[in-house]
């Protein structure tokens, strides 16, 4: 009797309308980094060493794996026609960011980004990929 119930359950599941199953599981695929795009003006990240920065309308935050985050007052990135640049200092260090509107492919994930980032933090030079958010500058 138990085996019969199992077989009937499997048959019913197999007979279910495949469109109904798809409808249950179909959710719109969110745009990549949509949440971040609605919160920040610019962001970028890099690998080896792992780092990232996010810039919103009030501050720029730079993080590197194993280190304390650095914060800088945000000011609009300069636009010279080929690149967007940012430079600032805090009590401990300085940062210069150059965002080039050229395709960048993450060397670990293979993900493609519309901007290439060049960051100088103090004496360290870093490269990575980035995107522009949706907030107005």
Domain contains 107 = yes
**Over the stretch 80-106, which tens digit does the pLDDT of each residue have?**
888 999 999 999 999 999 999 999 999
Number of domains the chain contains: 1
Give the residue numbers spanning the domain of 73.
36-132
Please say whether the beta carbons of 97 and 78 come within 8 A. no
CB-side neighbour CA atoms (13 Å) of 11 = 6
Domain contains 47 = yes
pTM of this prediction exceeds 0.85? no
**Over the stretch 10-24, which tens digit does the pLDDT of each residue have?**
555 555 554 444 444
């Amino acid at each position: 009797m138990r085996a019969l119930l199992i077989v009937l359950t499997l048959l019913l599941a197999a007979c279910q309308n495949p469109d109904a199953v798809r409808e249950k599981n179909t959710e719109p695929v969110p745009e990549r980094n949509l949440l971040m795009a609605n919160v920040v003006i610019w962001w970028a990240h890099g690998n080896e060493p792992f780092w990232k920065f996010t810039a919103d309308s009030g501050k720029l935050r730079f993080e590197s794996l194993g280190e304390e985050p650095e914060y800088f007052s945000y000011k609009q990135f300069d636009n010279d026609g080929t690149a967007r640049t940012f430079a600032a200092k805090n009590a401990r260090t300085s940062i210069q960011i150059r965002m080039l509107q050229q395709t960048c492919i993450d060397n670990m994930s293979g993900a493609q980004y519309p901007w290439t980032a060049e960051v100088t933090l103090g004496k360290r030079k870093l490269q990575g990929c980035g995107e522009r958010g949706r907030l107005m500058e």
